[in-house]
Amino acid sequence: VTALNSFMAQYGFWVLTFIKIALLLVIVLTVNAYLTWFERKVVAHMQSRIGPHRVGPHGLLQPAADGLKFLFKEDAMPAGVDKFVYLLAPFLALTLSLASLAVIPFGPKPLPFPFFGHQIDLWITNPDIGLLILFAVTALGVYGVALAGWASNSKYPLLGGLRSSAQMVSYELALTMSVVGVVLMANTFSLTQIIEAQSGRTVWGILPAWNVISFHGGFPQIVGFLCFFIAAIAETNRVPFDLPEAESELVAGFHTEYSSFKFAMFFIAEYTSMITVSALCTILFFGGWTSLFHDSWPFTHYLPGIILLPFGLWVIYDGLKYETIWGRLVLPVIGTGLTIIGALLLAGAWFAPLHEANEFIQAPFWLLSKIFFFLFFYVWTRGTLPRFRYDQLMNIGWKLLLPVSIANVIVTAGFVLLRSKP
C-alpha cells in the first residue's frame, strides 16, 4: 500500500489523466450511439413516422445492433486504392474529432474527493489557449475527408472530397472570425475564463450575462453566434450543408468506397464533432455552465430533480402499457431508477450530503442541457431544411457570413474600446 501511495504521489497525475480520457471516451461513444437513435426518432416524428422501434423497447437497442452490424460486415477494399492513405483517412477523422473534446471543461469545481492527493477536475486539460487548440484540431479534420476522397480511387468520392475541402476552407474563415468578438470581450483564449467572464447578470439582474445578449464589456454577440452556428453546421458537413455527401449527385460522397467499421469511424467522427460544436456554442455564447436564473433563487437548484422525477414516473407509466413483455419489464425498471435519482436530488432540500451533491451537479447540468438543446437544434435543421445548391453554398460563405462576421468584429472592438476608456 505504501508502494502504491508513493507511486501515485509521483505518477498519479498521469494515471488520473488516462482514467479520465478512458471515461470520457466511453461516455462520448455511448452518447454518439444514442445520438443516432435520437436523431432517427426525432426526424421520424417530424415526418409522421415512428422511427426505430423493433430492437428493444422504443428501439433503444438499435445503436447496439447498428454497432454490431458495422463490426461484422465484410471489410471490402476497392482495387487500386492507395492503401496507406485509404486506411489513414478514417483514422484521422475519428482521432481529430475525439481529440478536440480534451480541452472542453464540464464544470468549475473539482470532485469533492481527491485521487491520491491529486485534484479531480472536470476536464482533461485546461490550457490557456484552449480555444486556439480547439480550432487548430478541428481544422485538421478536413484532411480526413479530403484524403478519403482522394485515396478511394473513384470519381464520386474524389468529387465529394474536393467539395468538402472547398466548403471547409470557405467556412473556416467565417467560423474563426465570428468568435473573435467573444475573445475580445473575455480578453482570453481560455475556455474556463471565457465562461467565468459571462457569470454576471445583465439588464438589471433579470437576464444572465451570456455573450449572446450581454452588454458587459462589449456588444451582444447575437450576430456572431448566428454566423458561428451556420458556419459550424457547414464545418461538420450536416444538412443543409452536406454537399460532400449529397446522395442524389455523388452516391455517398467521400465515404462511398468505405464499408464496415471504416465507415462507422467517419460516422462517429461526424457525431463527435456535432457534440464539440454544440459544447463550443454553449461555452462561447451561452455562458457554459452558468445558470439561466439568478443565484438568489435557490429553488431553481432543484431543477434537475424537478425534471427527472416526473420523467421517471412517465417512463414507468409508459412502460406498464408497452406492447412487448420485454418492454413492460425493462422500461419500468429504468423509470424507477430515474425516479429514485430525481427524488434523491429533491431530498437535497432536507439532507446535507444530498444537498451538496445537488449543488455539485448544477454546473454540469446546465452545460449538458444547453449542449443537448444545440444537438436537438442540429436534428431539427436536418428535419426542416433542404440541401443548398453549390453556388448558394459558396455565396453564403463568402458574400454573407464572412463580411457580416468581420463587421461584427469591428463593432465589438469599437464597443470594447469605448468601455475600456478610464
**Site for another protein contains 84 (CB under 8 A):** yes
Contact 51, 41 (CB under 8 A): yes
Q: What angle do CA 164, 243, 34 make, to 5 degrees?
A: 95
Closer Cβ to another protein, 148 or 213, answer by number? 148
Closer Cβ to another protein, 24 or 88, answer by number? 88
Q: Which stretch binds another protein (CB under 8 A): 66-74, 82-90, 166-174, 393-401?
A: 82-90
Work out how close the CB of 182 gets to another protein at its nearest, in angstroms, rounded to a whole number.
Answer: 22
Contact 134, 308 (CB under 8 A): no
CA-CA distance, 46 to 58, in Å (whole number)?
16
**Site for another protein contains 85 (CB under 8 A):** yes
**Site for another protein contains 91 (CB under 8 A):** no
Q: Which of 82, 196, 249, 318 binds another protein (CB under 8 A)?
A: 82
Q: Which stretch binds another protein (CB under 8 A): 140-148, 167-175, 335-343, 345-353?
A: 140-148
Work out how close the CB of 244 gets to another protein at its nearest, in angstroms, rounded to a whole number.
Answer: 19
Whether the ω angle into residue 114 lies within 30 degrees of 0, i.e. cis, is no
* End-to-end Cα spacing for the chain: 59
Task: Say which residue the cell 420523467 belongs to.
Answer: 311
Whole-angstrom CA distances from 381 to 97, 172, 384 are 22, 20, 5
Closer Cβ to another protein, 92 or 182, answer by number? 92
Whole-angstrom CA distances from 205 to 101, 172, 367, 376 are 33, 36, 21, 29
* Residue 63 CB neighbour total at 10 angstroms: 22
Task: Count the residues of the shown chain that bind another protein, applying the rule CB under 8 A.
Answer: 11
Report CA 278 to chain centroid distance, whole Å: 4
Work out how close the CB of 137 gets to another protein at its nearest, in angstroms, rounded to a whole number.
Answer: 10
Q: What is the pattern of x (binds another protein, CB under 8 A) and - over residues 304-343?
A: ----------------------------------------
Residue 120 φ then ψ, to 5°: -95, 95
Q: Which stretch binds another protein (CB under 8 A): 139-147, 194-202, 288-296, 322-330?
A: 139-147
Which is nearest to 103 in space by CA: 126, 132, 73?
126
Work out how close the CB of 400 gets to another protein at its nearest, in angstroms, rounded to a whole number.
Answer: 31
Helix axes 352-384, 260-285, angle to 10 degrees: 110
3 state DSSP class of 113: coil
Closer Cβ to another protein, 132 or 252, answer by number? 132
Closer Cβ to another protein, 84 or 299, answer by number? 84
Closer Cβ to another protein, 88 or 162, answer by number? 88
Which is nearest to 405 in space by CA: 264, 228, 267, 284?
228
Closer Cβ to another protein, 95 or 259, answer by number? 95
Q: Which stretch binds another protein (CB under 8 A): 70-78, 84-92, 382-390, 395-403?
A: 84-92
Work out how close the CB of 391 gets to another protein at its nearest, in angstroms, rounded to a whole number.
Answer: 29
Q: Which stretch binds another protein (CB under 8 A): 132-140, 153-161, 229-237, 295-303?
A: 132-140
**Site for another protein contains 150 (CB under 8 A):** yes
User: Hey, what long-range contacts does 212-217 have (CB within 8 A, 24 or more apart)?
Assistant: 212/285, 212/286, 215/415, 216/185, 217/185, 217/186, 217/187, 217/416, 217/419, 217/420
Q: Which of 9, 25, 136, 207 binds another protein (CB under 8 A)?
A: 136
CA-CA distance, 104 to 284, in Å (whole number)?
11
Q: Which stretch binds another protein (CB under 8 A): 44-52, 135-143, 248-256, 280-288?
A: 135-143
Residues 108, 191, 35, 370: is their CA dihedral positive or negative? positive
Work out how close the CB of 3 gets to another protein at its nearest, in angstroms, rounded to a whole number.
Answer: 21
* All cell numbers assigned to 87: 486506411
**Site for another protein contains 14 (CB under 8 A):** yes
Is 297 exposed, middle or buried (CB count within 10 Å of its CB: 0-12, 13-18, 19+)?
exposed
Report CA 229 to chain centroid distance, whole Å: 12
Q: Which stretch binds another protein (CB under 8 A): 142-150, 315-323, 335-343, 367-375?
A: 142-150
Binding residues for another protein (CB under 8 A): 14, 82, 84-85, 88, 133, 136, 140, 143, 147, 150
